[in-house]
Structure formats: structure tokens, C-alpha cells
């Protein structure tokens, strides 16, 4: 299963996969041109080939660029929806709790906890967050497979119903 984590940013969008592939998209341009450049760069990275995309939700405590970041989030979500690609949105505090056990980790603490848990090191904080998001996607996949296996044993009808979804 191909899983991609995205930490959306207008200046440096981080992306990562559970196998530690990562990078940042640093777009040129302003306004709609910038949004288009980010979307095109993510598309070129295989955005629409993923089985699951995990996106960090909005930080409502942010003071700068909230409306513009909302536009980027909307563009990415809408494009995934148009392409019928599944995605989930994870709140920043949930990401921090998953990685380090508490919802108010600082950037350097996220980096340290990522190293301790997965021995993964990244150049930017955006890649660190994106990697954590991809690991949430991986954990959800494992959970889903366990539930599916249980339901498959429970009854043959359940198996057929899951295939129809």
C-alpha cells in the first residue's frame, strides 16, 4: 500500500512515505500561481498514485497566512477528491501525541521523538511532520487489516460487503 504524508505549507510543503523517502516542495510565484505550482509538484511526485494520503490539519493557533494556507489545503483536498484518492486529515495535536505521547511537542522534540521511535532523520521540520503523518497512515492500515481479517472470519457475507465498498 502506498501512503504519503503531507505537511502543507505555502513556502515549504513537506512530504514523506513510511519508508523514509521525503522532501520539500518550495514553490515559486504568488497567489493562485503558487497553489498551482505546489499541486503540480505533488502530482509529479505521485500524489494521485497513492492508496492513502495523510494531511496535517490546520493549526488554529497560527497567526500568519491562515487564509492562504486554507486555500492550499482546499486545493489539495479537492484535487484528491476529484481523482477519487482517499485521504484523511490529522490534527496537529494528534500527530504530536502519536509521535511523542503529548500534544504540545516543540519542533526539536518532534525531531528527537521521530529519531527515538523510528531512527529516522530529516533535513526539515516539514519532512519530520510528514513522516509522522505517513506513519499514522501505516498504523491505520494495519488496524484496518486486523479488523477486516476478524470480520472475514466472522462471516462470509461481511467479506463480500467489504469488497463492495
Query: How confident is the model over 67-106, as pLDDT tens digits?
Result: 778 899 999 999 999 999 999 999 999 999 999 999 999 9
**Mean per-residue pLDDT of the chain:** 88
Domain of 73, in residue numbers? 3-164
Check which CATH number belongs to the domain holding 71 and give it.
3.30.420.10
Distance CA 102, CA 66 (A): 24
Distance CA 27, CA 4 (A): 19
pLDDT band at residue 66 using 50, 70 and 90 as cut-offs: low
* β partners of residue 25: 13
SS3 category, 117: helix
* β partners of residue 93: none
> Does the model's pTM come out above 0.85?
yes
**How large is the average pLDDT for residues 119-126?**
96
Looking at the structure of the chain, the number of domains it has is 1
Q: Is the pLDDT of residue 65 over 80?
A: no
33-37, 55-59, 131-135: least confident range: 55-59
For 125-159, what is each residue's pLDDT tens digit?
999 999 999 999 999 988 887 876 766 666 555 44
Amino acid at each position: 500500500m502506498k501512503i504519503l504524508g503531507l505537511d502543507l505549507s505555502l513556502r515549504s510543503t513537506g512530504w514523506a512515505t513510511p519508508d523514509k523517502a521525503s522532501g520539500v516542495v518550495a514553490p515559486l510565484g504568488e497567489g493562485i500561481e503558487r497553489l498551482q505550482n505546489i499541486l503540480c509538484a505533488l502530482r509529479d511526485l505521485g500524489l494521485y498514485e497513492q492508496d492513502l494520503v495523510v494531511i496535517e490539519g490546520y493549526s488554529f493557533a497560527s497567526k500568519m497566512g491562515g487564509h492562504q494556507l486554507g486555500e492550499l489545503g482546499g486545493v489539495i483536498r479537492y484535487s484528491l477528491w476529484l481523482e477519487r484518492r482517499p485521504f484523511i486529515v490529522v490534527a496537529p495535536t494528534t500527530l504530536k501525541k502519536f509521535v511523542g505521547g503529548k500534544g504540545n511537542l516543540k519542533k526539536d522534540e518532534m525531531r528527537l521523538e521521530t529519531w527515538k521511535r523510528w531512527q529516522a532523520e530529516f533535513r526539515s521540520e516539514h519532512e519530520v511532520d510528514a513522516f509522522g503523518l505517513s506513519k499514522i497512515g501505516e498504523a491505520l492500515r494495519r488496524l484496518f487489516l486486523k479488523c477486516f481479517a476478524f470480520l472475514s472470519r466472522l462471516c462470509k457475507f461481511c467479506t463480500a460487503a467489504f469488497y463492495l465498498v
